[in-house]
Amino acid sequence: MAGRIRHELWLIFFAVLVVAGIITGQVLIGGFGILGLIIGSIAWLWSRLSLEEVTYERSLARNRAFVGDEVPITVSITNKKPVPLGWLRLYDRIPPDVEVRGGQMGEQVGATALSLMLSTSMGWYERVVWEYRLKCTARGYFRLGPARLESGDLFGFFTSEKTAPRRDDLLVYPETAPLPELGIPALKPMGDARNGLLIHRDTSRPGAARDYQRGDPLKWVDWKLSAKTGRLQVRVFDPSSSTTIVLVVAVDTNPINWGGYSPVLLERVIKVAASVAIHAVEEGYELGLFSNGSAIRADRPMVIPPSGEPAQLPVVLEALATITPVVMSPIHKRLGDHARRFPMGSTLVIATAIVSPELAAVVSSLKKRGHPVVVLYVAEGACPDLPEGVVVHELGERLSRAEAASEFGPR
């Protein structure tokens, strides 16, 4: 605004010179004023036309990546008119967690973005192309743009601005690593199994009937058959041909809900959960997700029903990429409320930084319901006591050393 006022003052100044020259009869002064008005008018018109028919395009090679990946990006500016541009500057909004390789970063844009600054001159009907690489340094959902273009006349008297409103989305999946690097044995990471799969009775696969034995659930009793034979008969269900794994992601990193959170511990939880998710799908397990955290701009905790479909892994990884540190409710309360909704016999893999007495009690209840439970404890030190039979992997020390040595990289 100040520059515009300054330029208008110059035009007023030249107009005053023309009037003064006419009044005083000084041809030189009047001629100088007229020349200034002519040049100023041309500069003003040039500035007004400078960004007309100028387009900006941004193209990402892909919009999905893992932490540590580099994504090629191509940006281009096209001048579609017969008027050259003496100068042009571009400021494109880039999230701070996405590093631009080979580009010059300009001014800060608010609190959540930097600007990629490009500068060039252009002839008529010319197209200029730049190629860079975006280094993904953190998980999350990021938006690139909008971009702001600036240009004007050759003399720098006037400046025009234009916004290219297009935005591009980039989803960065969490950092992952093979299970042994995390400190989880590759052999039977989820506990004892038969042929690599935990076995449970699948009520959708009824088999033969037999006499009732002490300890058989009453819901397995076939009452019609019992009436016919005069003895209590129960159905024997075939073992499931696949294991259902539900990833339980606890975003609690502070025993006091209002006491803030630990970014390090949260990222450990997400990293471990993402690594187990990939392993589960590679082994042919059905995979689901349950959390007391929510996604960006969501107002409810995450629940993704188990599925063995190939598209399930991207869905789970996208959820983990966008999960926030906001605790909707303590993980023990969420698990307790949802306990009856987990598929029968499903293995619950709990990634957590806190094991409270309340959580231990819920885990004991889940065990009694027939759920194998695996706890991935990411805080440093020993995991608090849990019921017998719960598989515990204490990962904190290993993760701390790996973070210090920067062992983890893109998958």
> What is the C-alpha separation between 411 and 68, in angstroms, rounded?
8
Q: What pLDDT shows up at residue 197? A: 37
Report percent pLDDT > 70 for the chain: 85
Q: What pLDDT shows up at residue 3? A: 47
> What is the C-alpha separation between 20 and 30, in angstroms, rounded?
7
Nearest-Å Rg of the Cα atoms of the chain is 33
The domain segmentation of the chain, as residue ranges, is 1-18+29-38, 67-173, 179-198+241-405, 209-239
Q: Is 126 exposed, middle or buried (0-12, 13-18, 19+ CB in 10 A)?
A: middle
* Overall fold of domain 67-173: Immunoglobulin-like (2.60.40)
> What is the C-alpha separation between 38 and 18, in angstroms, rounded?
12
Q: What pLDDT shows up at residue 328? A: 87
Q: Would you say residue 411 has pLDDT above 50?
A: no
Q: Would you say residue 122 has pLDDT above 90?
A: yes
Higher-pLDDT residue of 293 and 13 is 293
Report percent pLDDT > 90 for the chain: 55
Q: Would you say residue 13 has pLDDT above 80?
A: no
CATH 2.60.40.10 fits 179-198+241-405, yes or no: no
Output the pTM of the full model.
0.79
Q: Up-side HSE of residue 394: CA atoms within 13 Å toward CB?
A: 8
Banded pLDDT at 199 (limits 50, 70, 90)? very low
Higher-pLDDT residue of 409 and 56 is 56
Banded pLDDT at 43 (limits 50, 70, 90)? confident
> What is the C-alpha separation between 166 and 116, in angstroms, rounded?
15
pLDDT tens-digit map of 250-273? 999 988 777 789 999 999 999 999
Banded pLDDT at 23 (limits 50, 70, 90)? confident
Q: What pLDDT shows up at residue 111? A: 56
Beta-sheet strand order (sheet of 85-94): 104-109, 113-122, 85-94, 147-152, 159-164
**Token pair belonging to 123:** 């002839």
Mean pLDDT in residue range 227-238? 71
Q: Would you say residue 193 has pLDDT above 50?
A: no
Residue given tokens 């598989």 in the structure block: 391
Query: Average pLDDT of the chain?
Result: 85
Neighbours of 221 (CB within 10 A): 16
Asked whether the domain spanning 179-198+241-405 has the same topology as the one spanning 67-173, the reply is no
> What is the C-alpha separation between 95 and 144, in angstroms, rounded?
7
Mean pLDDT in residue range 188-216? 56
Q: Would you say residue 4 has pLDDT above 70?
A: no
pLDDT tens-digit map of 366-406? 999 989 999 999 999 999 999 998 999 999 999 999 888 87
Indicate the residue type of 388.
E
pLDDT tens-digit map of 330-358? 999 999 999 999 998 899 999 999 999 99
Q: Would you say residue 87 has pLDDT above 80?
A: yes
Mean pLDDT in residue range 224-252? 76
Q: What pLDDT shows up at residue 24? A: 81
Q: What pLDDT shows up at residue 359? A: 97
Residue given tokens 């991207």 in the structure block: 314
Mean pLDDT in residue range 154-179? 91
Banded pLDDT at 207 (limits 50, 70, 90)? low
